């Protein structure tokens, strides 16, 4: 009888020790850690974002009506196929744009749309929302500046 108890104890010890090895194998296997990607929302003021492009600083004076007229005509020729002032079309409505974005950002978006939508968080977010990248109209800095002047007269209602 003692022999059976000893044999049974050895078997139990053997079986339980084998079970521990399996657990160790599982625990020593590489553990896949799921990383939660948290999108960092832009915590900065959008008016502080100057965008990416040739315009790094711009000081605005009083509205120049001559530039506004030129900007209005240029906007009609180059931009109005995708943008309207007061309604969303292919791109966003532009009324109040100067209240939402810095002058530098607006001009850089006009002059350098490819790099802006690739690298600038606000432009990337707009691309995700509107699904159509802004076309580069190959405007000069002077042309972009007169369009900006036109935008300055179009306040949000």
Main-chain phi, psi angles of 99, to 5 degrees: -95, -15
pTM comes to 0.71
Phi–psi pair at 106, nearest 5 degrees? -60, -45
- Decide if pLDDT at 52 tops 50: yes
pLDDT band at 38 (very low <50, low <70, confident <90, very high): very low
Element (H, E) at 14: helix 2-28
Would the pLDDT of 21 be above 60? no
Q: What is the pLDDT of residues 120-155, one digit of tens each?
A: 999 999 999 999 999 999 999 999 999 999 999 999
Write out pLDDT tens, residues 71-121.
999 999 999 999 999 999 999 999 999 999 999 999 999 999 999 999 999
Cβ atoms of 152 and 65 within 8 Å: the answer is no
Quote the distance between the C-alpha of residue 82 and its chain's center: 20
More confident residue, 155 or 36: 155
d(CA 85, CA 75): 10
State the pLDDT at residue 102. 97
pLDDT, position 49? 96
- Domains of the chain plus CATH, in order, are 87-153 (1.10.760.10)
The answer to whether residue 27 scores a pLDDT higher than 60 is no
- pLDDT score for 44: 79
Mean pLDDT across 24-32: 56
The Cα–Cα gap between 157 and 147 comes to: 20
Please determine, for residue 45, whether its predicted confidence score (pLDDT) is greater than 80: yes
Cβ(106)–Cβ(97) below 8 Å: yes
Contact of 50 with 121, CB cutoff 8 Å: no
pLDDT digits (tens, 9 = 90+) for 4-14: 766 666 555 55
User: How far is it, in rounded angstroms, from Cα 104 to Cα 140?
Assistant: 14
């Amino acid at each position: 009888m003692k022999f059976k108890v000893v044999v049974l104890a050895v078997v139990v010890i053997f079986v339980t020790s084998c079970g521990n090895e399996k657990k160790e194998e599982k625990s020593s296997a590489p553990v896949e850690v799921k990383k939660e990607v948290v999108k960092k929302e832009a915590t900065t003021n959008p008016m502080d974002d100057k965008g990416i492009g040739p315009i790094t600083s711009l000081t605005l004076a009083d509205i120049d009506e001559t530039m506004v007229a030129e900007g209005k005509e240029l906007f009609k020729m180059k931009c109005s196929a995708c943008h309207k002032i007061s309604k969303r079309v292919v791109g966003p409505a532009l009324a109040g744009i100067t209240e939402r974005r810095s002058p530098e950002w607006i001009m850089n978006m006009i002059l350098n749309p490819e790099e802006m939508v690739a690298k600038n968080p606000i432009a990337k977010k707009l691309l995700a929302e509107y699904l159509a990248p802004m076309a580069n109209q190959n405007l000069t800095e002077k042309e972009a500046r007169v369009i900006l002047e036109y935008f300055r007269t179009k306040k949000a209602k």
